[in-house]
Each structure stands twice: as structure tokens, then as C-alpha cells.
Structure 1
């Protein structure tokens, strides 16, 4: 009988139904698991379900019965993939579940920032409308999306869905070429050109050595149209201190982030210090988390486990 251990069930909302696999098994789940308890909790497990618990070589080497790690997410940087390959542990992830929820969240941030929704809401709360002596007032910029340049960093399924929404708004779509790369074909706008022409930048890249810290002060100074920048991908793609400087110096018109370098962020982190800015929005890594997307995720996760057990593995990354 298989022993399945879900290390961090709290990373999926409690009202989302996680069905049980259709084979004999023992199911154990923990709300959350500190990294130092992972080996103990996975003792004798043959299948681990994991979202964000770090599983490094030292831990994996202590788990001789482990056959599969089912990642309850698309990103799998929390798992030592090289060690899994060496130890014969398969790893599978989730794909395609977020093609609606993340783009919709990204555009919620884009719209709110381009039209200064939060800033005007705060003004109304403070009584500015009552003091205006007319039907409206103009404390903050309001810009249309139609006719503006949307630069998308990341050309996968989510980036393509963002592009489709942008086209519906009448935006000019550009996929930024990978930083430092040339000759990628007609789909891409060269990196420097994309930065210079952007009115809106939406980031949808994976986190890997070639993308870590890919946007810093040098890139912000190239953004001659003072765009808004939205990140619903990973926190370590943008240098947070530089983002704060760029926002305060007016190099960019606004920023909306759903991710940070370290989650939850420390109270004194650069992005937390921006929360008093009217043109900055920070949400708690929930772009992926519509009910529909979460249900699709867990259903696919169980499908991956069942497929592995019938020797037809799916979404294998190691």
C-alpha cells in the first residue's frame, strides 16, 4: 500500500476539495511543515505532495522509500531536482491551471494603476470629493489602455493569455526578448527596445539563474515612457530596493506586485515600505488562487499521482 504525505495542505484553500487517489493508500496531511521536519514526516512515505517546503539533497537521501514528489504548483525550485534524478525520485508539477486567474489578476493591477483607482478611493475616504465644489477632481493621472504599449516578459501560456486580454483592450503587444539573447525570431522585441517603448510591463517569467534580478536600476533608467510594472511571477526577478527607488524618483508611473523576495515579506522589506505610496499595490501571492484555478490544480495533482501509479506518468520534470 502506498503512503502519501501532503506536507503543506494550507497552501490550498480549505474549501477546495482534494479527492483521494483511486488506489490503496494511506493518506496523511499536515497544515504546514517546517523544512527541518520534512524528513521525519516523510519517513516511509512513497509519495510526497509538496508546494513550498524545501526538499534538498540531505533530506531526500534520508527517504529511501520515496518514489514520487507531486508538486502542487507549477514552480518546483523548492525541490533539489538534481538530487531527485540521482536518487531515482520522480517529480511532477502542475501545468496550464492558471491561464485565466493570473492574467485576470495582472490586469486588475494594470487597470487599477493606470486609472489611479486606489489613490482616488483614498481621496474619497479622506473627504476630498466633498471639498471639491464640483462633480469631480483631478488629483491623480488617468490613462487609457487603448493604444498603449504592453510589454510582456514571458511568452508561455500565461503570457499569451495576458496578450489576448491586452489586444481586447486595444493595446499594442510586445514580447520582450530574453535579456542578453539575440536572434529569437519575429515574435520578440529586443530587450532594450522593449524597455524603452513600454507603457505597461507585465512579468510572467520563471525564476532561474538567467532571470534572477533581471530588472534593476539600469533597466528602470531605460524605461523612457515611465511605465507601470506588474509582477505576478516570482519575487526575485526584480531588485526590490531599485524598484522602490525607481518609484519614488518617478522613473516608473506605478507598480503592482503579487510576489516578494521572501514570503511573507519582512515588515521592513522594500516593498512593505512602499505601501503608503498611492501608485503602488501589493497583494499576498494570490494571483493564482481563484477557486476555479485551485480546483483545477488539485484535480491535476491527483491525476498526476494516479498516472504515475499506472505507469503513465504525466508532467514529469525529473
Structure 2
């Protein structure tokens, strides 16, 4: 009987990592993806489940009497009915802090995409536009320096702190807004109201959870506060943004955006951001460097090892 069932391991490990450390804990099966209708048959008799985005609702959990443990292969645990798991005596863990440097790196990749326009100039060069110039260089439009610009951060967790370090290394000024005022703001950084952050940031980056209070926090009203040409970065959650309102602001040339997340993933073909102007989009892969994925897997395995020893590590139930 399989002790450990990985329901959807492909995004964590598309083939370049090693699942074998799980064998020290018990027999295991790994499935790339598991649709809802196959969860119970694949997990039949398993004591331990690992899931990334496969949803485990109350009815599913109630149908698995052998289940003792769910390890979420991510930081967010919204794919599990944690309250039902607690009622049923099923432990739930997550994997915090595995890749803030990776996500911040992607955040600034979007920033530099808009400020330095590397891809646009590369395309122009390979299409022969440089070869036909009279001068030794050419530009397709204004290039921008980050030094002296203001970076605004909504939230100040691990990823936002890494964004702050990178931004300050570029010589940027720093504004921060979060639910409570951090006690460890970098020297020179200012804690401000949210409206002030929207109004004064040249680059505004979202790093807060998606809750009822934060859903659609980027909306027509908050976008209207932003500077002409300001850049919105979202590596957090797509639901933080009213995508129709943002698309309208982008197409009007009011703001720019770089996003790694959308409200629905994969997006519907008619998502208004897919065909908007002044935006760069990556497919929710900011977290997915080899280093970050390996750390995630290592922590997930150690979470399960700890549980099997009777210890509580990264429990969220």
C-alpha cells in the first residue's frame, strides 16, 4: 500500500529534481496532475498526501479515513479545507519562505523590462534596424534610470524586504504600507498611508495576501491616484487587481504594469490584460527557479519527516 501520494508534482518537479528522499519515510507514488474525479482512487489508503493546487475539500477529506497528514507544496493553503482537516484530526503543513529572492528577482525583471526595454531593442536589432542606422546607437524611446525613483511596497514580508534591498541598491527611495507598521524599516524608508503610496510611487509592487479587504485593491479609484506612467508590479495574487480597470488604464497610457499572476490561472483567452498595451506578463513562474523549487521540496520532505517523528513543523491546522 502506498503511504505517500503526491497528487500534482509536475510544477514543483518537472523532472530536474529528485523525489527519492520520500522513500525514507515510506512507499510513495507521484502523479503529475490529478483531476478531482481521480483523487480518491489515487489516494486510497494513503496516510500522507502532498498537494500543490489539487483542491481537497471537506467531502473529499471525509472520504479518506486513513489520511493523517496533508503537506501543501506551497505557502498558501487555500486549496485545503483546513477547518475540516482539523475537525477530522488531519495535520496540514505548508512551505513558507522557500523563494523570496526568486520572486523579487522576477519582480525586478519586470521593472527592468519597462525601464531599459531590452527585449524591444533586441528585436529591433535582430530585425536589422541597428544595421541601417547612421549613428553608433539608437533608441526606440526614452530609457529610464531607477536611481532617484520611488519604490512603493504594499506589504512588508520576506519578498517585499528583498524587493526593498534590490531597489535601494539601485538608488531608489522607499515607501511602505502594511497592516501594521514594521519595526525594522530600512534607514530612509517611510511608512505611509495606502493612498499616499499609490500617489507617490514611481514603481508600486504588491506583496500582500488576497483577503476580502485586499481584493480589487487596485481599482479605478486607486489607479486614478497613480502618477502618469507609473509602473505596477504584481507577483502576489491576481485577485488584488480589478483587471478590467487596469486594462483600461494601460490602454489609455496612464500606467504600465508587470504581472506574474492573474485572477484565473491559466487565464481565459478573453482576459483583458492579455491584449492590453504597456504590460509584461509571466505565467506565475516567479517562484520556480531551480534553487527555490529544490528548497521547497527539501522543506516539504522535512515537514513530513518531522510529523512522522511526532513533531510539529510548519503546521497550519
Structure 2, unaligned stretches of length 5 or more?
186-190
Q: Describe the superposition over 1:105-136 as per-residue Cα deviations: whole angstroms up to 9, x where unpaired.
A: 11111111112223333333444334443223
Contact 2:25/2:305 (CA < 8 Å) preserved in 1? no
Question: 238, 254, 262: which is aligned to 1:260?
Answer: 262
**Do structure 1's residue 10 and structure 2's residue 19 form an aligned pair?**
no
- Partner in structure 1 of residue 244 of structure 2: 241
- Partner in structure 2 of residue 161 of structure 1: 162
Q: Matched residues in 2 for 1:288 and 1:38: separation?
A: 26
- Partner in structure 1 of residue 208 of structure 2: 205
Shift of 1:231: 1.1
Q: Describe the SS at the equivalent of 2:137.
A: coil
Q: Matched residues in 2 for 1:225 and 1:173: separation?
A: 19
Moved more, 123-132 or 167-176: 123-132
Contact 2:156/2:178 (CA < 8 Å) preserved in 1? no
Q: Describe the superposition over 1:266-309 as per-residue Cα deviations: whole angstroms up to 9, x where unpaired.
A: 222122223xx4x3211111110111111111000000000011
Q: Matched residues in 2 for 1:117 and 1:247: separation?
A: 20
Q: Describe the SS at the equivalent of 2:85.
A: helix
Shift of 1:65: 1.4
Q: Matched residues in 2 for 1:305 and 1:24: separation?
A: 8
Superposition pairs of residues 265-280 of structure 1, within 5 angstroms: 265-274=267-276, 277=277, 279-280=278-279
Q: Matched residues in 2 for 1:24 and 1:71: separation?
A: 17
Superposition pairs of residues 29-44 of structure 1, within 5 angstroms: 29-44=30-45
Contact 2:2/2:45 (CA < 8 Å) preserved in 1? no
Distance 1:43 1:22, change over 3 A: closer
**Do structure 1's residue 232 and structure 2's residue 235 form an aligned pair?**
yes
Shift of 1:44: 1.3
- Partner in structure 1 of residue 138 of structure 2: 137
Q: Matched residues in 2 for 1:74 and 1:103: separation?
A: 16
- Partner in structure 1 of residue 110 of structure 2: 109
Shift of 1:2: 7.0
Contact 2:202/2:227 (CA < 8 Å) preserved in 1? no
Shift of 1:194: 0.4
Contact 1:198/1:225 (CA < 8 Å) preserved in 2? no
Q: Describe the SS at the equivalent of 2:272.
A: coil
Superposition pairs of residues 266-305 of structure 1, within 5 angstroms: 266-274=268-276, 277=277, 279-305=278-304
Structure 1, unaligned stretches of length 5 or more?
none
Q: Matched residues in 2 for 1:259 and 1:89: separation?
A: 30
Q: Describe the superposition over 1:226-253 as per-residue Cα deviations: whole angstroms up to 9, x where unpaired.
A: 311111111111111111111111221x
Shift of 1:29: 1.3
Shift of 1:164: 0.8
Corresponding residue pairs, total: 310
Q: Describe the superposition over 1:75-97 as per-residue Cα deviations: whole angstroms up to 9, x where unpaired.
A: 11111112112222111011111
Q: Describe the superposition over 1:14-68 as per-residue Cα deviations: whole angstroms up to 9, x where unpaired.
A: 1112232365522011110112322232221111000001111111111111111
- Partner in structure 2 of residue 26 of structure 1: 27
- Partner in structure 2 of residue 81 of structure 1: 82
Following TM superposition, where does structure 1 have runs of at least 4 consecutive aligned residues deviating by more than 6 angstroms?
A: none
- Partner in structure 2 of residue 215 of structure 1: 218
